[in-house]
Amino acid sequence: MKINYFLIKQLQKNSSFLLIFFINILLIFFIIFFYIQKIDQFNKQKLILEDKIKSLEKRKSLIEYTKNLKNRNINIELINQYLNSLIPNTEDFFSITAALENLSHETGFIIINYDLGPIDGNRKTVSLTITGIGNMDTFLEFLKKYRFNSGRLITIDKIDYSPENLNQTSTAEKKLYLTFYSQKNYVNNLTLNTINDNDNGLILEILSKTKIIKSQLDPNKEIEISAREDPFEAINE
Amino acid sequence: MKIKKINLLSHHKNYLLYQKYFLLFRKIVFFSTGLFFVLLITSLLIITYKKNQVDVLIQQEQNLQTFIKNNLPVEENFKKFNNLFNQLKENLNNDVNFYPYYNLINDSLKISTNPPTIESLKIDQNKKVNFTLTFNNTNHLIEFLDYVEEEPFLNNFVNLKLESFLVESPSLLNTSNSYKISFVGQFKKIDNEN
């Protein structure tokens, strides 16, 4: 084999360059690798943080929105007390009885008969047929007030109003099919459903009409509830 | 074996060629060193920039966490309200909400000088309505029928049709008839039913 002395001589002469060249190549690869890894790590971290921030921003705007509601004279804490009474956490015999008594007392349409049966605390609705006695005015008063005035939310799916048997003076019996509700499972919903004018009207109606049934008050909260002319009285003070 | 001398006369061409290649190689080494520094500085700048971005986001996240932590009761109250209020609205869909619709019919009867009487009024949760009115006078009946064909009255309904028309005569001798008209249809949902 023929030895290439020129090449050997040149290699010896440029050995430091060769070394630097290999080190450079290694470092360049290392930098590229390190760069890609770091950038990838930062991008992933950034994406995770952006997602978290987005969700936190949502929660923040929800909190700010809730705080701003006070400027619109809407006190969420107070409204919750009313909503808790209308739709209690669990169903109980007492609050249904109290609601029906409240309604009789307030409308003059006397509920004389209803069959509650055993109450299952896990059921989210309780339906019952009531029989009431009243004249046309008291029956209309009942139809005007049954939804919120009793302290419990009551719905009636259909009404047959036939005043032929009811007049201003004479009284007659009337059967009605009422439904009561209790709270469904809590949905951890972060969607910000803003309170529009219709909702505002509904809240105002609830606050002005509902008389809280005491058993539905949150025992941890000390809040004084009394019938008031101005439903936002507590807030305005 | 140690090289003592090289015959430059005989291998002159080869030597120049190698020398040329190695000169080129040295330039490549200088270039690669330059490239290394350029890459190093650029990547450090980009990484620092990215890190700053992440740091800003971390700071932002921490600020938000602190804000939320300080306002947890407010958030909890709103969540509770949101749940209960949505459930209330959902439940109210099962309700007929009779009174505003009764008022609507009742008010429309007041346009007549001698208003008819409501014989029956049935409304269900889907706002389907069936009502019967009694008139004691033909003129009042015609006056009312004219009114129900007008926009202000019809605007309250998705659809409304005359289901029956009945003339009742109390006796053969009695000339004053009574008229019963029945309508079926569906109310438009009143925006604010309260």
pLDDT of amino acid A222: 44
- Whether the per-residue pLDDT at A228 is higher than 50: the answer is no
pLDDT of amino acid B186: 93
pLDDT above 70 covers a percentage of chain A that reads 80
Chain B residues with CB-CB distance to A63 below 8 A: 67-68, 71, 74-75, 78
Contact A156/B96, CB-based, under 8 Å? yes
Chain A residues with CB-CB distance to B85 below 8 A: 79, 83, 199, 203
Q: How large is the average pLDDT for residues B66-80?
A: 92
Contact B57/A50, CB-based, under 8 Å? yes
Task: Sort strands A172-181 and A154-156 into parallel, antiparallel or unpaired.
Answer: antiparallel
pLDDT of amino acid B118: 86
Q: Do B123 and A162 meet the contact criterion of CB atoms below 8 Å apart?
A: no
Question: Half-sphere exposure (CA, 13 Å, Cβ side) for A131?
Answer: 7
pLDDT of amino acid A3: 73
Question: Which residues, 6 or more positions from B107, have their beta carbon under 8 angstroms from its beta carbon?
Answer: none
pLDDT of amino acid B155: 86
- Whether the per-residue pLDDT at A224 is higher than 50: the answer is no
Q: Provide the number of CB pairs (under 8 Å) joining chain A to chain B.
A: 215
pLDDT of amino acid B168: 78
Contact A53/B123, CB-based, under 8 Å? no
Q: How large is the average pLDDT for residues B17-27?
A: 88
Give the DSSP letter string of A62-124.
Answer: HHHHHHHHGGGT--HHHHHHHHHHHS-SS--HHHHHHHHHHHHHHHS-EEEEE------TT-S
More confident residue, B169 or A110: A110
Chain B residues with CB-CB distance to A140 below 8 A: 99, 102
Chain A residues with CB-CB distance to B79 below 8 A: 188-190
Q: How large is the average pLDDT for residues A86-111?
A: 90
pLDDT confidence bin for B142, thresholds 50/70/90 = confident
Cα Rg of chain A (Å, integer): 36
Question: Which residues, 6 or more positions from A141, have their beta carbon under 8 angstroms from its beta carbon?
Answer: A106, A107, A108, A109
Contact B36/A53, CB-based, under 8 Å? no
| Alpha-carbon A84 to chain mean position | 12
- Whether the per-residue pLDDT at B184 is higher than 60: the answer is yes
Strand partners, B129: B123, B185
A18: buried, middle or exposed (CB in 10 Å: 19+, 13-18, 0-12)?
Answer: middle
Chain A residues with CB-CB distance to B53 below 8 A: 42, 46
Q: Do B191 and B155 meet the contact criterion of CB atoms below 8 Å apart?
A: no
Question: For A17, which of B29, B68, B86 is closest by C-beta distance?
Answer: B29
Question: Which residues, 6 or more positions from B41, have their beta carbon under 8 angstroms from its beta carbon?
Answer: none
Strand partners, A179: A127, A155
DSSP state of B155: T
pLDDT above 70 covers a percentage of chain B that reads 87
Contact B85/A199, CB-based, under 8 Å? yes
Across chain A, what does the average pLDDT equal?
82
Report the distance separating Cα A233 and Cα B181, nearest Å. Answer: 48
Give the DSSP letter string of B100-126.
Answer: HHHHHHHHHHTTSSS--EEEEEEEETT
- Whether the per-residue pLDDT at A226 is higher than 60: the answer is no
- Whether the per-residue pLDDT at A120 is higher than 70: the answer is no
Q: Do B177 and B167 meet the contact criterion of CB atoms below 8 Å apart?
A: yes
Shortest Cα–Cα distance, B59 to chain A (Å): 10
pLDDT tens by residue, A194-216: 788 888 888 888 988 888 876 55
Shortest Cα–Cα distance, B169 to chain A (Å): 18
Chain A residues with CB-CB distance to B107 below 8 A: none
- Is the four-CA dihedral B160, B161, B167, B168 of positive or negative sign? negative
pLDDT confidence bin for B172, thresholds 50/70/90 = low
pLDDT of amino acid A234: 42
Q: How large is the average pLDDT for residues A2-10?
A: 78
CA proximity to B104, closest of B175, B191, B31? B191
pLDDT confidence bin for A155, thresholds 50/70/90 = very high
Contact B88/A83, CB-based, under 8 Å? yes
pLDDT tens by residue, B27-38: 999 999 999 999
- Is the four-CA dihedral B147, B150, B152, B154 of positive or negative sign? positive
What's chain A's length in residues? 237
Contact B57/A53, CB-based, under 8 Å? yes
pLDDT tens by residue, A47-98: 999 999 999 998 899 899 888 888 877 888 899 999 999 999 888 888 899 9
Of all residues in chain B, the one with the smallest CA distance to A56 is B64
Q: How large is the average pLDDT for residues B180-191?
A: 88
Contact A39/B50, CB-based, under 8 Å? yes
More confident residue, A164 or B179: B179
Across chain B, what does the average pLDDT equal?
85
pLDDT of amino acid B194: 52
Q: How large is the average pLDDT for residues A111-127?
A: 79
H/E run at residue A15: helix A15-69
More confident residue, A174 or B7: A174
